Amino acid sequence: MEILGLLGDGMLLAVQPLNLALILVGVTLGLFIGAMPGLGSVNGVAILLPITFLVPPGSAIIFLAAIYYGAMYGGAISSITLGIPGASTAVATTFDGRPLALRGRASLALVTAAIASFIGGSVANILFTAFAPLLAAVALSFGPPEIFALMLLAFATFVGLGGDDIPKTIFSICLGLVLAAVGFDQISGAPRLVFFDITGFLQGINFLVLAIGVYGIGEMLWTIETTRGKVTTSEAKMSVKGIVNDSKEGMKRGWKGTTIGSFLGFFVGILPAAGATPGSLMAYGVAKMVSKNPKEFGQGHPGGVAAPEAANNSASTGSMLPMLTLGIPGSPTTAILLGGMVIWGLTPGPRLFVEQSEFVWGLIGSFYVSNVAALVINLAFIPLFIWMLRMPFTVLAPLIFVLSIVGGYAATKDMHDVWLMVLFGLSAFFLRKFDYPLAPAVLAIVLGPIAEPTLRQSLLLSSGDPSIFFTRPIAGPITVIAIILLFLPLINLVRRRMREGNAAG
């Protein structure tokens, strides 16, 4: 009952005029940002973070969370109509969304995506409300060894579940962590990694500089180069009667996918560093596995749209849970939100629920309001989004570059950082060409300032004995899971080799 009371207070806070206006603007912006190819929630949140300094922290996080929510809905739009995902979280949506659109059923795909997103978001909100305080209570007993073990788990999840090239993923994580160490050593206060004695490095490297460089410049350059700037749109017919009929058909054929996506997405979202992209891909895989007609998947099955869309919305809410309760982000976007909270003077982590109860419950309340707002705005604006996406890429791209440069400067007000951002952008373009995953670097630069001091404090506590991470009741199991995850790709490789050996023998 206490939770319902707090939630009620949170919802009242979320519908206050300023917050409600921010939710509506945020969701709408998010829908557009998510729908734009090459621009996902992470770009939107990174680029728009500097403009939140005008409002109180509670309203600022509600605004950014609304963008995140809207982008999860919007990502499906370009996946379905353009065949290229609006965001990485909507990659799986292209598998069945695009074939549906090519068959002239874009409306069915878009409506299914919107409703599945709503259901995914609603399930996640209820789970969040029920479990967040519980997890927060457990999290209160976390000391430096436990927090470092969690950081290790976050990085291990990326390596173990990532599926990308493992050495390149590890390289990316370490690079992000080293970049986070630039500036002054937090403990001794000595300057370190001041490259070529350039004084700009003394203030460290702001995570936004890397995030905007990678996503606003690097990814955009990559999109322009690989698509040659030519984006084609399929015709989509829309009518009110058609939307109602499509809603019925979408839910009839997609309910199983929606259910799987809603629950699986939430639990994958909670995993540190996993987030909505693996969540949506896993939900698609499971929905296909349990379907009576798995062969229809990939040919244009509404269930193939519903599962990843329900999952990415559910995971986006789920990934807020470890961010708020433990101070560790579940996705690149929440990594940026986390950075934002630090800038606003809030300390995410175990004590946030106790010390900033109003802030936390206002945010949770806003999830419910944002979810309803996103459904209504999405359905109403689907025809407009299709028209918007017909805007030539040669208009869209320069606008994104301008926003990136201006946003990057506004964050630190230093031209050194703008140059660094461009350098990161160009480097990211080439690294992307060679399949280096860059999201781990962005996560690492945010987690670095938490991981390093907790490791050093832990080792100081144990007089340099690393067994401290294995012997404590909470840190121990987390460290073991992290190590298993870290070696999972190697274990799988050995098992595969052994099976191949047995088969040959």
Partner 1 sequence: MRLGEIITAGVLALLSIYLMSESAELEIGYVRGEGPGGGAWPFWLSAIMLVTTVFIAINWVRRTSPPSRSEEPVLDREGWKTLLFVGGGILGFVALIDVISMYGAMFLFLLYYLKFLGRHSWFLTLSLAICLPIGFFFFFEGLMRITMPKGMDFTEPFFNVMYEIIY
Which is nearest to 222 in space by CA: 435, 48, 469? 435
> From the CB of 193, what's the least distance to partner 1, in Å?
5
Q: What DSSP line would sit under 352-381, residue for residue?
A: HHHHTHHHHHHHHHHHHHHHHHHHHHHHHH
Interface with partner 1, residue 483, by CB under 8 A = no
Q: Segment near partner 1 (CB under 8 A), from 29-37, 50-58, 60-68, 474-482?
A: 50-58
Interface with partner 1, residue 395, by CB under 8 A = yes
Interface with partner 1, residue 430, by CB under 8 A = yes
72 or 159: whose CB is closer to partner 1?
159
Count of chain residues binding partner 1 (CB under 8 A): 60
Among 267, 409, 470, 487, binds partner 1 (CB under 8 A): 409
Number of helices (H), then strands (E), belonging to the chain: the values are: 22, 2
Phi, psi of 315 (to 5 degrees): -65, -35
Contact code string over 306-345 relative to partner 1, x by CB under 8 A: ----------------------------------------
Interface with partner 1, residue 185, by CB under 8 A = yes
| Residues 6+ positions from 255 with CB-CB distance below 8 Å | 306
Among 310, 418, 441, 485, binds partner 1 (CB under 8 A): 418
Looking up tokens 């080799």 gives 497
| Residues 6+ positions from 291 with CB-CB distance below 8 Å | 256, 257, 297, 301, 303
**Using CB under 8 A, which residues numbered 221 to 250 contact partner 1?**
221, 224-225, 228-229
Interface with partner 1, residue 287, by CB under 8 A = no
Report d(CA 19, CA 60) in Å as an integer: 9
80 or 444: whose CB is closer to partner 1?
444
Report d(CA 121, CA 118) in Å as an integer: 5
What is the per-residue burial (b if ≥16 Cβ within 10 Å, else e) of 441-472? Answer: bbbbbbbbbbbbbbbebbbeeeeeeeebbeeb
Interface with partner 1, residue 390, by CB under 8 A = no
Among 49, 139, 346, 431, binds partner 1 (CB under 8 A): 431
Report d(CA 68, CA 107) in Å as an integer: 23
78 contacts 86 by C-beta, under 8 angstroms:
yes
173 contacts 155 by C-beta, under 8 angstroms:
yes
Among 397, 438, 441, 446, binds partner 1 (CB under 8 A): 397
By CB under 8 A, name the binding residues for partner 1: 50-51, 53-54, 165-168, 170-171, 174-175, 177-178, 181, 185, 187-188, 190, 192-193, 195, 217, 221, 224-225, 228-229, 392, 394-395, 397-399, 401-402, 405-406, 409-410, 413, 415, 418-419, 422, 425-426, 429-431, 433-435, 452, 455-457, 459-460, 464
